[in-house]
Amino acid sequence: MKVCIFGAGTLGGHLAARFITAKNTDLSLVGRGAQLAAIRERGISLTTGGKQYGGKAAIATDNPASLPQQDIVFVALKGQMLPAAAQAIGRLVKPDGCAVFLLNGIPWWFNHALPGKQGTLPLLDPDGALWREVRPERVLGGVAYSPNTLVAPGVIAHAGHNRWVFGEPDNSMSARLKSVVDVVGGTGIEAVASTGIRQEIFRKMSGNASNNSLGALTRLDTAAIAEDDGLAELATRIISETLAVAAKLGCDMSNEINPAEVARRSRGKPGQKPSTVQDAIAGKSLEIDGLIGQTQAFARELGVATPVIDVCYALLRGLDASFRLK
């Protein structure tokens, strides 16, 4: 099976290291910069649970056009980078293949296969390039519960849970979904098929939207946010607002998730800095539209009040703009 990881950074690098060790795919990697240089020179190193995974990939490139078409393309780019890569991703997917988007937050294909909904989400896919080039009917959703840190180029440390959930936009149990779950599960990752992938997306966002947003604005890790009463209260309100939007969209988890408990879950566990926080510290562009911006857009469409999200999103957009001025 030909498999490509498009975006072999932190999360993509974790999956790449697993595949390299398992030797269960014909693997190619698309990367860039210092990370790609390190992968080419030394390979990928993943440390988790006292074990080491990785090695050198047979193919690692910054030119996706040089690769043949793939059975599965795992896309691990940040959301803000996707539109520019739409044509390259679309070309890589075989006619009967699929693209699996491992995104934080709401994906561009969200409306696909929903009754009464059609077309892309302009905030996430401004010119419709992803909808047109990749095509939503060739997409699977992915939610990775897998905290990773890029220690150095090509060197990844993982700690904590490692559960990866995949699903069809129409919530069916398809042959290609089973194939993806089997190949990822064959690496030792806990891989799960979901018949409610949008709900799974919002389930992860219930914590991610608050920790990533407040962490990027304060540079604090998740434990420090949880231990500060004022920040924990803001986190609780972001989670509550996110869940209110989710419920209006048919993903009601009010009986499953307690916002205050989620906001305080990281107390006493210092050191974990979500990807948006790591990017803010490094002065990189921020993945905020899928995590919090599209929630605001849905809220305005549905008439849901999101006062804390409104303030945080405005501040995050300003912070992101300041990085672009450098």
**How wide is the angle at C-alpha 289 spanned by C-alphas 229 and 65, nearest 5°?**
135
Q: CA 33 → CA 78, 102, 131, 316, 325, distances in Å?
A: 15, 21, 28, 26, 21
Burial of residue 70 (CB within 10 Å: 0-12, 13-18, 19+) is buried
Helix (H) or strand (E) holding 142: strand 139-145
CA 36 to chain centre: 20
Burial of residue 250 (CB within 10 Å: 0-12, 13-18, 19+) is exposed
Strands 51-55 and 44-48, by their bridges, are antiparallel
Burial of residue 31 (CB within 10 Å: 0-12, 13-18, 19+) is buried
Check: CB of residue 123 under 8 Å from CB of residue 105: no
The number of CA neighbours under 13 Å toward the Cβ of 52 is: 6
3-state DSSP assignment of residue 196: coil
| Both structure tokens of 145 | 């519960």
**Which amino acid is it at 117?**
K
Q: Return the exposure string of 230-249: e unless at least 16 CB atoms fall within 10 Å of the residue's CB, then b.
A: ebbebbbbbbbbbbbbbeeb
Q: What one-character DSSP code corresponds to residue 132?
A: I
**Which residues are catalytic, by number?**
204
